[in-house]
Chains A and B, each alone.
Chain A
Amino acid sequence: MAVRVVKVDREGLAKAAGPLSARAIATGLSITARHFFRNLWGWIVGKPTIATVMYPEEDVVKPPAFRGMPVLVEMDNGKERCVACGLCEWACPVDCISITPDETEDAIERYPQVFDIDMGRCMYCGLCEEACPEEAIVMSDRVEIAAFSRAATLWHKDDLLVPVDRLARRLEYVRRGYER
């Protein structure tokens, strides 16, 4: 529609500022004082207005879309939902997933014998979640992977399994996009 080309207002700015630095000092002090009292008032009434979050005592509010580390969904019977099809392994741009499939006598006859994610390499992009045809690997809201050795950032299947009811919020979010 209408796109206009406008000049930035240099003259008006020069006038507004004026030659006196005393005025600039007053403006600056009033702005910083306003912020100070606003934050002080917020602290008094118990509604903090500052952006700082006292991590790890507090945590940020994560939106439903939040992509933390990928985890495996553990079904109610204690087994993983994953059938070791290998799509996530294929989709991963940094090759941080490695799966060794195996077979069982259960109703779902394929399962991953080994399911490792190298969290030191994972970049939380979520392509594995998108590729998964079984809703078996999802992005959780966990982000803490700090460890004392590089070997400890390699997460195995037992570390990755999370009960399905603890992933309810994320599953609800991804299911929103199931129908087009």
Chain B
Amino acid sequence: MAEQQTEENVHELDIDVEPLDMKLGPSHPATHGTVRMNLRLDGETVLNAEVEVGYLHRGFEKECESGLYYQAFPYTDRLNYVSPMINNVGYALACEKLFDVEVPERCQYLRVVASEASRIADHLTCMGACALELGAFTAFLYAVEARESAWDILDAMCGARVTCNYVRIGGLSSDVGPEFAALVDEKLADVARLHKDFEDLLLANPIFRDRMEGTGVLPKEDLIAFGVTGPLLRAAGVPLDLRRVSPYLVYDRLDFDVPVGESGDNMDRFLVRCEEIRQSARLVKQCLADLPEGPVDLDDPRVRLPAKGEVFGRMEQLISQFKLVTEGPRPPVGEVYQAVEGGNGELGFYLVSDGTGKPYKCRARSPSFSNTQAMSPMVEGGMLADVIPTFDMINMIGGECDR
């Protein structure tokens, strides 16, 4: 770009200026997420912003429709790959609603642990990347180190940090061991320590505050009209959190706060996420304190594989194993929509069953998609530099947005 030209000095000098078209992305160093923004600029003012998504489209729905119900779990990991467990849980809940079964209590508690640990990782990634893109590299490293601790919790549960594939229809792939609670305490302490340093570095910093405060504001009516959910909507003062308004799993038995903002600017969004990390840690601790004994898997040969020990020794279970793996669990004909509170908002799965072992339709309602749509009105009329923090706080995850 040439010299800086604001609207005023253009008029003063009486220079005939044409608007400048600029492409931001698809892989721009200051955006985390594969998205292209076609900006029309007058000096540094954004006149028009057109967001183009689709760079990470992998055909999630087509892939799910061609496989059995249980084979879609690895693909759900790759929707929002920063908080994979929430996707796992959401898909499993949708399937269980279709089958009309309910998993044992221990499983429900462990699913909450997995979801909340994922949420911590999600928010830390979002805020850390935001700090990085606004120039705070050290803060980013602290956030990523804290995220590593959150991922260690997931790693201990399922054996993978990102590609979890932990939850199953009617249960979990494995139970946690007796050493798990101590490990979680240690890792959550690490997260809390690093998160505090991260906050202290940024929130007292005038440069960071100047770039976050008052930018990217959209009134809550507009946010709702655009279908925005999650921390973005809560930052505008709407306490819409599915864990609160329509509790699933065991959220109705747990104590937690739903933080809301007031003005809905980027700073509020950041603060809401900061508080949610603390609340998620609180939820994990409560779940582990209350964790009941018992099985994690449903004892129902229609949906869940039989216990491995019995498969080796008994003919019926062996046959059941063969049938469930090759044909898959067969739900009744019908259609369900089940939503969970994902890292960025409502993550819903819409399943249509035709009675066979394959989903006839498996649709993921991804929060990033609707949230990214509201990007244009948030940045139009603002400065070019404000595009970056706004995009960071929208936290568009390519895998989830493009599916």
Is chain B found bound to chain A in the same assembly? yes
Selected from A16, A67, A91, the residue in CB contact (under 8 A) with B71 is: A91
B204 touching A133 by the CB < 8 A rule? no
Shortest distance from the beta carbon of A176 to any chain B beta carbon, whole Å: 7
A7-B254 contact given A51-B148, A65-B174, A87-B322, CB 8 Å threshold: no
A123 touching B239 by the CB < 8 A rule? no
Which residues of the partner chain A approach B275 to less than 8 Å between Cβ atoms? 6, 8
Selected from B138, B256, B261, B271, the residue in CB contact (under 8 A) with A3 is: B256
A13 touching B203 by the CB < 8 A rule? yes
Which residues of the partner chain A approach B72 to less than 8 Å between Cβ atoms? 93
Which residues of the partner chain B approach A66 to less than 8 Å between Cβ atoms? 155, 159-160
Instruction: Give the number of residues in A that approach B within 8 Å (Cβ atoms).
Output: 53
A65 touching B159 by the CB < 8 A rule? yes
Contact indicator per residue, chain A 73-96, by CB within 8 Å of chain B (1) or not (0): 000000000000101001101000
Contact indicator per residue, chain A 1-25, by CB within 8 Å of chain B (1) or not (0): 1111111111001001110010110
Q: Is B392 an interface residue (CB 8 A)?
A: no
A87 touching B307 by the CB < 8 A rule? no
Selected from B67, B201, B257, B308, the residue in CB contact (under 8 A) with A4 is: B257
A127-B262 contact given A2-B255, A133-B311, CB 8 Å threshold: no
Bound complex: CA A134 to CA B311 (Å): 9
Which residues of the partner chain B approach A107 to less than 8 Å between Cβ atoms? none
Q: Is A178 an interface residue (CB 8 A)?
A: yes
Q: Is A154 an interface residue (CB 8 A)?
A: no
Shortest distance from the beta carbon of B59 to any chain A beta carbon, whole Å: 13
Contact indicator per residue, chain B 270-290, by CB within 8 Å of chain A (1) or not (0): 011011000000000000000
Q: Is B375 an interface residue (CB 8 A)?
A: no
Selected from A1, A8, A65, A135, the residue in CB contact (under 8 A) with B259 is: A8
Q: Is A124 an interface residue (CB 8 A)?
A: yes
Bound complex: CA A51 to CA B297 (Å): 35
A124-B163 contact given A31-B200, A32-B138, CB 8 Å threshold: yes
B258 touching A180 by the CB < 8 A rule? no
B155 touching A65 by the CB < 8 A rule? yes
A8 touching B271 by the CB < 8 A rule? yes
Which residues of the partner chain A approach B9 to less than 8 Å between Cβ atoms? none
In A11-51, the 8 Å CB interface with B consists of 13, 16-18, 21, 23-24, 27-28, 31-32, 34-35, 51
Selected from A4, A7, A18, A85, the residue in CB contact (under 8 A) with B262 is: A7
Which residues of the partner chain A approach B251 to less than 8 Å between Cβ atoms? 3
A17 touching B160 by the CB < 8 A rule? no
Q: Is B185 an interface residue (CB 8 A)?
A: no
B261 touching A65 by the CB < 8 A rule? no
A10-B267 contact given A123-B163, A124-B163, CB 8 Å threshold: yes
B159 touching A67 by the CB < 8 A rule? yes
Bound complex: CA A122 to CA B159 (Å): 16
Of all chain A residues, the one with the shortest Cβ separation from B144 is: A51
Selected from B163, B268, B318, B325, the residue in CB contact (under 8 A) with A10 is: B268
Q: Is B70 an interface residue (CB 8 A)?
A: yes
A24-B204 contact given A91-B71, A93-B75, CB 8 Å threshold: yes
Which residues of the partner chain A approach B308 to less than 8 Å between Cβ atoms? 135, 174-175, 177-178
A4 touching B177 by the CB < 8 A rule? no
Which residues of the partner chain A approach B204 to less than 8 Å between Cβ atoms? 16-18, 23-24, 27-28
Bound complex: CA A126 to CA B71 (Å): 11
B325 touching A87 by the CB < 8 A rule? yes
Of all chain A residues, the one with the shortest Cβ separation from B321 is: A133
Bound complex: CA A103 to CA B157 (Å): 39
Contact indicator per residue, chain A 137-149, by CB within 8 Å of chain B (1) or not (0): 0010000000000
B71 touching A139 by the CB < 8 A rule? no
Selected from B159, B253, B307, the residue in CB contact (under 8 A) with A139 is: B159
Q: Is A56 an interface residue (CB 8 A)?
A: no
Which residues of the partner chain B approach A65 to less than 8 Å between Cβ atoms? 155-159, 174
A7-B260 contact given A65-B157, A67-B160, A133-B318, CB 8 Å threshold: yes
A180-B260 contact given A124-B160, A174-B308, CB 8 Å threshold: no
Which residues of the partner chain A approach B75 to less than 8 Å between Cβ atoms? 93
A131-B325 contact given A1-B254, A17-B209, CB 8 Å threshold: yes
Which residues of the partner chain B approach A93 to less than 8 Å between Cβ atoms? 67, 71-72, 74-75
Q: Is B54 an interface residue (CB 8 A)?
A: no
Which residues of the partner chain B approach A126 to less than 8 Å between Cβ atoms? 159, 165, 173
A51-B165 contact given A21-B206, A67-B159, A67-B160, CB 8 Å threshold: no
Of all chain B residues, the one with the shortest Cβ separation from A23 is: B204
The 5 closest A-B pairs by CB, nearest first: A178-B309, A65-B159, A67-B159, A8-B271, A93-B71
16 contacts between A and B (CB under 8 A): A5-B244, A5-B259, A6-B257, A8-B262, A10-B262, A28-B138, A28-B201, A64-B177, A65-B157, A87-B321, A91-B71, A127-B73, A135-B308, A174-B308, A178-B307, A180-B307
Binding site for B on A (CB under 8 A): 1-10, 13, 16-18, 21, 23-24, 27-28, 31-32, 34-35, 51, 63-67, 85, 87, 90-91, 93, 123-127, 130-131, 133-135, 139, 173-180
Question: 13 other contacts beyond A31-B200, A35-B197, with CB at 8 A cut-off?
Answer: A3-B255, A3-B257, A16-B204, A17-B206, A28-B138, A28-B205, A63-B155, A64-B177, A93-B67, A125-B165, A127-B165, A176-B177, A179-B307
